[in-house]
Structures are given as structure tokens and as C-alpha cells.
Amino acid sequence: MAKKRQALKNVHQASWLFGHPVLRSAGVSQAYWAKSQVSPYPQKGGGWSACLYGGVQTGANYAALFIPVNEMPVNVFEEAQWSYYMTGTETMGVNIVIWVHDAEDFDKRAEITQRGNVAGLEKAAGWNAHEFDQTADQMFFYGENTTGTALTAGTLYTWDEFQADALFKDWVIYRISFEYGWEASGTFDQVWLAEVKLNEVPIPLFPRPEDLDAPIYQYHTGAAALATTLSPKTPFKLMAIELHLNTAATQQTFTATIDAGRVASVYDTLLVSEALAGVTDLVKTWDGGLPCLEDDEIDCAWTNTDTKTYGLTYIFKVQP
């Protein structure tokens, strides 16, 4: 029989326990770093927050903050706290996911997820703070090669039950994530995740320079009047606006305007005014990006009286 790896000892001797957070998203959801400068966003955190934008939900869209973990034994993890600002009240909050595997066999893994709509997980507009309760029936798992567990995939259990399980009690944690999305329908507005603490260790939330290089895409779709807003709440550069219609329009004018947040409306500036008669695709770009302040918003409008189905994409970059 192979000697069991002493994961706890290795963790104490390692140079790190929690790695630098990274942002991930899928589908129409997006995740980006936001420099918190406009009230009430700087009330918590260290100056940067992770903005998680869920967008239109179809059951597979999510935005997340991933935190690498250096093989922490399952039975050692007991505490987590996090705070986040929600634009509006939603059906789900920002939930924790604990990713585990067998330290001796990486073919065996599972993700243990806090259900996003579980009672006690805050999901109201404004600031929310959550303290992980390992005694509440709120965690379910799915995984690969989990033969030997006494737990049933998809069923809610307490974290205590995972720690006591015949299989999972000997596994280790390789990642902890905070996720927003996975709803079957509806639209999830932006959430700013500002503070995270794991086992009493505060996790610094800030981007690395390379994290700000990639463009960010925000998607909107509909078949009625178009009235959309890009509001990153952080300094940004508008790179492009793309509009696609299912069939050519026959009327009306599409507009895009900078809503100057910190000054009077007299500073609002019309960026685009385009008659859409005969148009299926409209693309507007700004070479090098159009600099915008953290409280600037980009408003797009089109009356769409002939009810074309549209897809509108904002493309922007966060500024340091």
C-alpha cells in the first residue's frame, strides 16, 4: 500500500497557500477588474474589486473569481467570508465553490458548490456580506471518479458531511471560486466582489498588468426598442460598438452617447448617429480606444418599430 501523502505538512512548508486570483467567465457573462472610485463602490475592499456580470442567463453563463489553493486538506478548511455589491436584487447571490481532488490521483476530482439561491445567501440590491456556514444543507457536488463516497451527486449536504465522508475527507482543495450565474433564465446585472477571506486569511484582490490587456465584451439582445447602457464603474477605453440585425432595418436612427457622470448633462456627447435603413450590420471603432472616466456611461438607443431582432456588443478595456 502506498504511503499516504502528508498534505497538511506540505502546505505549512510551502511558500504559498492561496495564489493570486484570476477572473473567468463563460457564454455572454463577463468578469473584469474594476478600480473602485465612485460611491458606494469604494466602501469595502482594498481599492480594486472583481466585477462579475452575469448578463442573459440560459443555464450555462457565469462569471467567477478563481483562487488557486495549495493542496489544502478538506478537513482543514472551515471559514470563508466575502462581501459584494449588487446592482439589483437577483434570484441568486455570489456563491462559493470548493474544488477538490485526490492528491495521489488527479483523475479523481469534484466541485462542491454552494447553491446560488440557497436561503441565507444574500442577493439583494446594495452591499451584501456572507459568512460560510459549514453546518447548513447548501452544498452539492459533481465530479469524476468519485466511487467510494457515501454522498449522492446533486443532493444538498453540509460541508461538515463532506469533511466526514469516507472519500472526500482524504482529498485536498486545489481551488476555491466565487461564482455568479448558472441561472436558467432572466438577466443578471453587475456585481462587484470586494472582499474575500479564507480560513481567516484575507485574499488581496487586484489585477496584474497583463489582466488589463484583454478587451471585454458586454452583450445585449432583444426584439423591441433598443435602450442599453455600458457602465463599468472604472476608468475604461471604449474600443468598439457592434450592432447586428436579423434582417435589414427599414427605418429609424441608431445613436450612441457618452453620459458624462461627474458633470452636468451639457457635457453629454453624441458619438454615433446612424440611419439604419437597409442596414444589417453596423460597426463603430475608436482607434486606440476612447478614454472614459469611471462614472461615464455609454448609452445606445434605437426605436426599432419594425421589431428586428438585434445583438449589440460593447467592447472596452479597463484602464490602470
Q: pLDDT tens digits, residue range 212-223?
A: 999 999 999 999
The one-character DSSP state at 200 is T
Residue pair 294/235 in contact (Cβ under 8 Å)? The answer is: yes
Mean pLDDT for the chain?
93
Do 7-210 and 215-318 share a fold? yes
Q: pLDDT tens digits, residue range 300-317?
A: 999 999 999 999 999 999
pTM of the predicted model as reported, rounded to 2 decimal places:
0.91
Q: What is the pLDDT of residue 265?
A: 81
| CA distance linking residue 134 with residue 155, whole number of Å | 15
Residue ranges covered by each domain of the chain: 7-210, 215-318
Q: What is the pLDDT of residue 34?
A: 97
User: In the chain, what is the greatest distance between 2 CA atoms, to the nearest angstrom?
Assistant: 77
| CA distance linking residue 310 with residue 221, whole number of Å | 5
Which candidate, 240, 245, 190, places its Cα nearest to that of 217?
A: 240
Q: pLDDT tens digits, residue range 121-147?
A: 999 999 999 999 999 999 999 999 999
Q: What is the pLDDT of residue 37?
A: 85
Q: Given pLDDT bands bounded at 50, 70 and 90, which one contains residue 8?
A: low
Domain 7-210, what architecture?
A: Sandwich (2.60)
Q: What is the pLDDT of residue 261?
A: 81
Q: Given pLDDT bands bounded at 50, 70 and 90, which one contains residue 1?
A: very low
Residue 35 forms beta bridges with which residues? 48
Q: pLDDT tens digits, residue range 144-159?
A: 999 999 999 999 999 9
Residue pair 192/318 in contact (Cβ under 8 Å)? The answer is: no
Q: What is the pLDDT of residue 3?
A: 45
Q: pLDDT tens digits, residue range 17-64?
A: 999 999 999 999 999 999 988 889 999 999 999 999 999 999 999 999
Q: Is the pLDDT of residue 14 over 60?
A: no
Domain 215-318 CATH class label: mainly beta
